A and B are shown apart, each in its own frame.
Chain A
Amino acid sequence: MDPVVEVRGLVNRFGRQVVHDGLDMQVYPDEVFGIVGGSGAGKSVLLRTILGLQRPGAGTVCIYGSDITGLTEAQLRPIKASYGVAFQSGALYSGLTVLENVQLPMIEHLDLPPTALDDLGLLKIRLVGLPADAAGKYPAQLSGGMVKRAAVARALALDPQLLFLDEPTSGLDPVSAAAFDDLVLYLQQHLKLTVVMITHDLDSIFRTCNRVGVIVDRHMVSDTLDRIVDYPNSWIQAYFHGERARARLGAQHGT
């Protein structure tokens, strides 16, 4: 199976500080891939590189087989339409309503009549579990959980097969976070999505991820969840077997 996202030999540095040094990562179709790493390990830089927001120092980033590092802005456009991104703080356009936020990618990439735009926009808003009356609200009027859902609705505007989520459950209460995990699973299963998710949330990882990539020492170690927890690295051990993780792991192994 060809990987949907493939990163090879990625090097990123800022001045003297090397963030990634030969990082490899593969994401396969229909999986939920979690990216984990300590603060400052370069998770967000990795995501920005994959999204083409930042050119890497060296290495290749392939999305659906095409290397995006050498492409021009015009060549990137169809690739950008093929995936959706939900940023950490939502990054909803504050001057537009939720519905208009969802419609914006459609207006940019498609030529649809207004009624179809309204219907499709509402469909996406309903799909992520937002009430229909959220459509006319502005981002400032939404709760944190609703902002995250609206961001996913916008990410799904063009029916992508690939979805990037940046810390989707951060800042949510455990109940909302669990509900959001369920949403990710629901969407993944029904839309046959490939999901790449940066997260710190152990519950979220155990609930949704098939495979996990951990950034340690400027490289990535990736494996299935079962195996990665036993990987002999002090940070990985501390992360998966630390005080906060123990209860969770016990529950996982008990079932």
Chain B
Amino acid sequence: MSATAPSTEAVEFRRTAEGLELELTGEWRVREVAALEMALAAIDVASVPRIRIATAGITDLDLSGAWALRGFVRRARRAGAEVSFKGEPPDQLRLVDETLAAQAAPDADALPARPVHDEPGDRALVALGRYAVRSGHDLVLGLAFLGRTFLTFTASLAHPRRLRPISVVRHVYETGITAMPIVSLIAFLIAVIIAYMSAQQLRGLGADIYVVDLVAIGVLRELGVLLTSVIVAGRSGSSFAAELGSMKLNEEVDALIATGADPYELLVVPRVLGLVIALPLLTVVADLIGLAGGALLCRYLLDMPLTQYVNRVNEAISSTTFWVGVWKAPVFALLISIAGCYRGMQVRGSARELGHMVTVAVVQALFLVILADALFAVLFMRLKI
């Protein structure tokens, strides 16, 4: 009395009086493993005393196929069946057995431990605490980085060659000169926006002339330097972090240290110095283009003659307006370059870390620039500048 139930092409089984007879055929390769596993899982091994497996029909058996077969054999044995092979068991099965048997620990231990889940409330508190501690730690390390950079810089002052003038010039070029087109364009557009928006409002009051005040003061004091810094943070902050980060990954920084060179002196100080020189210059460019954009718009939108525009600009701004904007630039440059270099030097281990640190560098540079600008606004108001 026997019933045949061919479940797939690869596995045929017959139930006989003694138990189960399996006939395995076809290709048992990694491509078919999912199907093979399903076919084997469909076989009910409960209360089967004996299972005989014929593997002669398998044309091609690889390790993954053997692994699927081994899973079935183990399941059957655990269920109490006596499993035997018709002829020799395949070599591949033995190889899988040997490989996995050498493993003392069960499979689950080898996998990375899954995090233990606490109460949701605790978890939020723990996360908050961790975040606070990490942020504090981060701040201290960032200040240490700034201090180290400053010390390296002052130590180099005595030996101008150690300030790496060629490297500094390269960074002035890369962060400053090459940024001029985009900075100019943005400054122009910002002037257009201010002029256009204010003209709409002020025209109703018959106070057209104050459009000039808004453009001149807005661009010179705030927006020229702020938007230039935002662009530079995106361009150069990210490039500092990525450059130093990939040097870290490539062990180039370690190589420098190993040869007795100071990575702060060679890599960090020239970048900081280069940007501190470049950003004020870029700001001047942005101021000029912004004022020019304002002039253009006043000429064509408000029909204001150029001479009247220039005169009004002269009246609107005080002697400090321009310098207030330009003096902020080196501070912003310092914040951007330190954030970029610090995060770049923190990269270790993996490409993902590099991407993460570049993101952090840019976000923090932007945050620091805007925070500093707010502090400057309060400070200058107190000083009545």
Contact = CB atoms under 8 A, between A and B. Distances in A.
Interface in B201-233: none
Contacts of A119: 67, 71, 107
Contacts of A106: 30
Interface in A100-155: 106, 109-113, 116, 118-120, 122-124, 126-127, 132-133, 135-136, 138-140
B105 A138 contact: no
Contact of B351 (A95, A132, A133, A136): A95
Contact of B349 (A109, A135, A140): A140
A16 interface: no
A99 interface: yes
B37 A191 contact: no
A190 B102 contact: no
A94 B352 contact: yes
Interface residues of B, number: 32
Contact of A159 (B62, B91, B102, B112): B62
Contact of B102 (A109, A110, A126, A133): A126
A71 to B, nearest CB: 20
A123 B348 contact: no
A97 interface: yes
Interface stretch (B93-101, B164-172, B180-188, B301-309): B93-101
A28 B119 CA distance: 61
Given A123-B100, A126-B102, A136 B110 contact: yes
B117 interface: no
A158 interface: yes
Interface string A172-191: 00000000000000000011
B31 A132 contact: no
Contacts, number: 85
Interface in B20-77: 29-31, 33-34, 37, 62-64, 67, 71
B350 A122 contact: no
Interface residues of A, number: 32
A95 B107 CA distance: 23
A116 B34 contact: yes
A112 B350 CA distance: 27
A31 B102 CA distance: 28
Contacts of A111: 34
Given A94-B350, A138-B350, A140-B348, A132 B105 contact: yes
A85 B353 CA distance: 26
B113 to A, nearest CB: 8
Given A110-B31, A140-B348, A135 B110 contact: yes
B88 interface: no
Contact of B91 (A116, A139, A156, A190): A190
Contact of B33 (A112, A122, A127, A139): A112
B34 A120 contact: no
A112 B71 CA distance: 15
| Closest 4 pairs (CB-CB, A-B) | A95-B352, A136-B112, A132-B110, A94-B350
Interface of B: 29-31, 33-34, 37, 62-64, 67, 71, 91, 95-96, 99-100, 102-103, 105, 107, 109-113, 249, 348-353
29 contacts: A93-B351, A95-B353, A99-B111, A99-B112, A106-B30, A110-B30, A110-B31, A112-B34, A113-B37, A116-B33, A118-B107, A118-B111, A120-B33, A120-B64, A122-B103, A122-B107, A123-B63, A123-B67, A123-B99, A126-B102, A132-B110, A133-B109, A133-B110, A135-B111, A135-B112, A136-B110, A138-B350, A139-B350, A140-B348
Given A132-B105, A135-B112, A159-B62, 15 more contacts: A94-B249, A116-B34, A118-B107, A119-B107, A122-B110, A123-B63, A126-B102, A133-B109, A133-B110, A135-B110, A138-B350, A139-B350, A140-B349, A156-B63, A159-B63
